[in-house]
Amino acid sequence: MSAPRLIAVVGATGAQGIPVVRDLVQSGSYRVRALTRDASSARFRELQSFGPVEPVVGTFASEADLRATFRGAWGAFVNIDGFNSGEKAEIFWTIRAYELAIEEGVKFFVLGNLDYIYKKSGYRPEFHAGHYDGKGRIGEWILQQNRDNQARMQAALLTTGPYMEMAISAHTPMAVSVEDGVAATWRLPLGHGAVPFVALDDCGYYVKWLFDHPSRANGLDLEVAIAHVSRAELARAFEQVTGHPARALDVGFDEYFGEVWSQEPERAAAYNADLSDPATMTVRENFSAFWTAFQHSGGNQGVIKRDYGLLDEIHPNRIKSAEEFFRREEEKGVKKGLGTLWERVQPEKIGHILKITEDNRTGRL
């Protein structure tokens, strides 16, 4: 039996990084080295509960720290948090991460990516969401570079989307509220569109699959999702699983930013971005485009599309519907002693899935 291959992970303690590290380490085929600002944090300790995870204490905004993370690794998974860095800095540091991975001898590079929705819309300004397009541009750049560099390092993309866990977590763009103690309610500027939700547990499987099949994965943009979920499907699925009333109401942007999502809509969308920089988007600008893309993606026919046949081939046991996702969450919560799904979305019990909300949008690069 060959020795486990070392995978360097940037973004390991994020929502997506945790299941990626879990599935790599628990497979026995891979070892993980993770870049982290704090090796004593609860999230890093969670990583180490899966098995040995080597820390590199530092930041993605340091060439020395990136080199130390990549040195001696066979593979790399890089997913920089755009809500930390901002669109402009994320583009620069992801480019440098790719280049430094080649420099340090990494053989297979996977980027945690998002749809380039500005381009997919035909470069319509109302679709420009910085945290999506920052990744999407670099994803295309990496695949272009891969054509020339694959003799030294091959590359692939994992293109995801909103995590379905965000629909049952606190302080996300699509958080649930329990109104009058009776009905689970989502108020979303979605219209007749749909959200291509992603299950975090599936992300770990997909990243491992990319590393397991480098010949097929090389040059692949693996665009993943559970399904394109409409407002009606979201509410109906929750009702079916919990037995409690649910509704997903359409709202306009003024109501959404003014009353529904408890953010400061005119502040910078990334906490380390400078609002005086013309390249920095506000929360309102960024998330108006975010929701506009989903408004135009209903039925898997619009701006954001997925090849669900390919996903069924790659991951036959993937989560395929909102109801299946909620049912699994119900079972997981009860097994872990967290209560039923209905109990978990109550105001006094609802938890965080995004690291940025746990950090209260504070921190340094």
Q: d(Cα 121, Cα 210) in Å, to the nearest integer?
A: 28
Helix ranges (DSSP H) in the chain: 17-27, 42-49, 63-70, 82-85, 87-103, 117-120, 130-149, 200-212, 214-217, 231-242, 253-255, 283-295, 308-314, 322-335, 341-344, 355-358
- In the predicted model, what is the mean pLDDT of residues 1-16? 93
Q: Alpha-carbon Rg of the chain, whole angstroms?
A: 20
pLDDT at residue 363, rounded to an integer: 38
Per-residue pLDDT tens over the stretch 236-248: 999 999 999 999 9
Domain boundaries, the chain: 5-161+198-223, 164-196+227-303+320-358
How far apart are the C-alpha atoms of 333 and 144, rounded to whole Å?
43
User: What tokens does 174 get?
Assistant: 């699509």
pLDDT range class, residue 262, cuts 50, 70, 90: confident
The pLDDT-based confidence of 34 (bands split at 50, 70, 90) is very high
Rounded Cα gap, residues 92 and 62, in angstroms = 11
Tens of pLDDT along 118-153?
Answer: 999 999 999 999 999 999 999 999 999 999 999 999
Q: For residues 254 and 275, what is the distance between their CA atoms, to the nearest angstrom?
A: 21
Which pTM does this prediction carry? 0.95
> What local confidence, expressed as pLDDT, does residue 320 receive?
98
Give 47-70 pLDDT, tens digit per residue. Answer: 999 999 999 999 999 999 999 999
Q: What pLDDT does 178 receive? A: 95
Query: How far apart (Å, rounded) are the C-alpha atoms in residues 347 and 359?
Result: 19
Rounded Cα distance, 329 and 350, in Å:
13
In CATH terms, the superfamily for domain 5-161+198-223 is: NAD(P)-binding Rossmann-like Domain (3.40.50.720)
What is the average pLDDT across 205-215? 98
Cα–Cα distance measured from residue 152 to residue 102, given in angstroms and rounded to the nearest whole number: 7
- What mean pLDDT is predicted for residues 151-163? 98
Higher pLDDT, 85 or 312: 312
Q: Of all residues in the chain, what percent carry a pLDDT higher than 90?
A: 91
